[in-house]
Structure 1
Amino acid sequence: MHRPSFHTRRGHVGHWAQATSVLALSAVALTGCGLQPATSYVPAVGPGSITPLDGADGVDLTVTSKNFTEQLLLGKIAVLAGTAAGFDVTDLSNVPGSQPARELLLSGQADVLWDYTGTAWLTYLGQAEAITDQNEMWQAVYDLDLTNGVTWGAPAPMNNTYALAVRSEAVADLGGITAMSELAALPVEDRTFCVESEFNSRPDGLNPMLAHYGLERGTANGVPDSNIGIYDTGAIYSATDNGACNFGEVFTTDGRLDALDLTVLTDDLAFFPAYNVAPIFFTDTIKAHPGLEKVFAKISPKLTDEVLRGMNRQVDVDGAEPADVAYEWMIEEGFITDPAS
């Protein structure tokens, strides 16, 4: 894959090189000088269902995002929404790393960032126990992050968490499998997995996942070690599609799921933590402009796993620009209009 691997993008790996922080600070410095990153292009915006807010005219609003495809798309959506709402928007998307992007928000150098509940709970807020219920996770993060001067807006249905996927043409041969609880009913030789090295060893990864679903790793009647292949994250999707294994570790909004026709198994016993995306705001900004939260509350319900998979695919597979993909989606949903039409 030609973009950062998806397993580090949401903060699953909390180690950021010093260079990452320097790059992020450099981006801030450029913005402070009146310059914006090269990725700051967005088309002109006309009002749709999002219209200018009272008091927004002439007010600066800074949007930030992390530097992988999905975050670039969400960042552009935020820029377009803020512009349609009447703010003078500074586009500070494409910041390398979860922690640097969050630091911009915590310090008030940014006003809006889309982020993931699981990342906040486990990485930023340092909680050890994952929460699988999506509503409970959002509420817990909302309550705790208020003390940091951060306000979480309404969550989207989109839950970008771990999952297992199978090539669709193999589903019938595997007994019509649709849910992870059905893994235990398969013959041992069919319980083959492609995973990346971190998921293979992390305390909430492969081994506890198998145990949660009644399977023991390393046993003849469970999942023998010979049934497990370790791959780079970007290679798992193609390896699963090519039949190197039956079940690949994936992320639920990855565009390659559709491009390669992979079927995601339902996590019916609720093992994986919730990673719903939501707009988060510097609390002082929301206090000054409470209508901004309502603007984003219009957008969140439309952001489903299927919608993000489609947009991610347009960028990662078809080569489209994130700003153009976000713009077309915002127009299709009626949030904005094209002033030239």
Structure 2
Amino acid sequence: MRSCRTTSRTALTTRTALATLTVLAGLAGLAGCGLKSGSPMVDNVEPGRLGAGKPLKGASLTVTSKNFSENIILGEMIGLIFKAAGAEVLDRTNLPGSISAREAIVKGDADAMYEYTGTAWITYLGHEKPIQNSQKQWAAVRNADRAHGVVWLPQSTLNNTYSLGINQANNKKYKLRTLSDAAALARKNPSAVSVCVENEFASRDDGLTGMQKAYDMPLSASQIKKMDAGIVYTQVAKGACLLGEVFTTDGRIQALHLDILADDRHFFPLYNAAPVIHAATFKKHPQIAKLLDPLSKRLNTKVAQELNAQVDVAGEDPHNVAKQWLIKEGFIKKG
């Protein structure tokens, strides 16, 4: 059987052309593979702090996700909470690309998933300029997406966006906390600063080029080292580059002892994770909000790093990672 699984996460971008390519790629994935048939969640779980009284008893719900570790984990969390609350749950996580999962929610082939505000605003809704206030960005997406039959529940502070990382050993010397700190170092001591980036990020207006302008960060061609994205983290960890492009929730950040520099001028788009629900499903089961709001309040960037590391560094199964964390947090219990 031809596999629909891919390994790359959706690129974060504010450029309409790249967003269009993402949409077309996702639609091609749908045409070639279709929505996975899924499998029933058979976990024997009971309500903990969530799901008392089993408010979803008798409901049949389908959860979905994109096909990168973080989003799979989040999709599994939704499914497990629904299961503990009494629902029969079909697991259709790990769909190829963003558009496959998005279309499943819009069409009602799936009922719930975690989506990212920046992805919706830029890729699905077609805006070029992000809103650099997380609550206003979420509210704008929520309001616009009503027309597509999608309900956005309150977002988490988990923000899967770009930044620069530095290994902690080097940072004991330079004490960088923000991208403004890095820019100041590049101006004062250019020979100390080298930056590892993947090829696309190096030339994008919403990548390194735009960041340099926003922060007045002078970097010569010799200071910029271009490479495959997967190598950047290890190069920064061993000090081959002082700084490196990172996703802020990547599990390798903690595993390789990297510090992340705060985007203090709010240059990069915000990608806060929030539950999205098919509108007809939410109308029938409004109690979903009370089940998922506490989960979103607990999720943050550090938690995401820890959970992602369990999958991407330690090789654990995303479903088991999600389940054990929910049990540890007291959201659900073993049956």
Check if 1:207 corresponds to 2:203: no
Instruction: Verify the 8 A CA contact 1:6 1:251 in the aligned structure 2.
Output: no
Match of 1:96 in 2: 96
Match of 1:308 in 2: 304
Deviations 1:171-207 (A, max 9, x none): 1322x11111112322111221111112112221111
Structure 2: runs of 5 or more not aligned: none
2:101, 2:255 → 1: CA distance?
Answer: 30
Q: CA deviation at 1:153?
A: 0.5
Instruction: Verify the 8 A CA contact 1:43 1:323 in the aligned structure 2.
Output: no
2:292, 2:204 → 1: CA distance?
Answer: 34
Check if 1:240 corresponds to 2:236: yes
1:116, 1:42 → 2: CA distance?
Answer: 28
Cα RMSD between the aligned structures? 2.1
2:12, 2:130 → 1: CA distance?
Answer: 18
Check if 1:322 corresponds to 2:318: yes
Instruction: Verify the 8 A CA contact 2:164 2:261 in the aligned structure 1.
Output: yes
**1:139-218 map, 5 Å:** 139-174=139-174, 176-186=175-185, 187-215=189-217
1:125, 1:53 → 2: CA distance?
Answer: 38
2:6, 2:222 → 1: CA distance?
Answer: 30
Give TM-score scaled by structure 2 length: 0.91
Count of aligned positions:
322
1:104, 1:123 → 2: CA distance?
Answer: 16
Match of 1:219 in 2: none
From 5, 8, 30, the counterpart of 2:8:
5
Change (3 A) 1:251 1:211: same
Identity over aligned residues, as a percent?
A: 39
**1:1-341 map, 5 Å:** 4-6=7-9, 8=11, 14=22, 16=25, 20-22=29-31, 24-27=33-36, 30-31=37-38, 36=39, 43-51=43-51, 56-174=56-174, 176-186=175-185, 187-215=189-217, 222-339=218-335
Partner amino acid, structure 1, of 2:159:
N
Instruction: Verify the 8 A CA contact 2:41 2:83 in the aligned structure 1.
Output: no
SS of the residue corresponding to residue 171 of structure 1 reads helix
2:47, 2:233 → 1: CA distance?
Answer: 39
* Large movers: runs of 4+ above 3 Å: 5-13, 40-43, 52-55
Change (3 A) 1:195 1:154: same
Q: CA deviation at 1:107?
A: 0.4
2:88, 2:280 → 1: CA distance?
Answer: 17
Structure 1: runs of 5 or more not aligned: 216-221
2:32, 2:329 → 1: CA distance?
Answer: 35
Change (3 A) 1:292 1:198: same
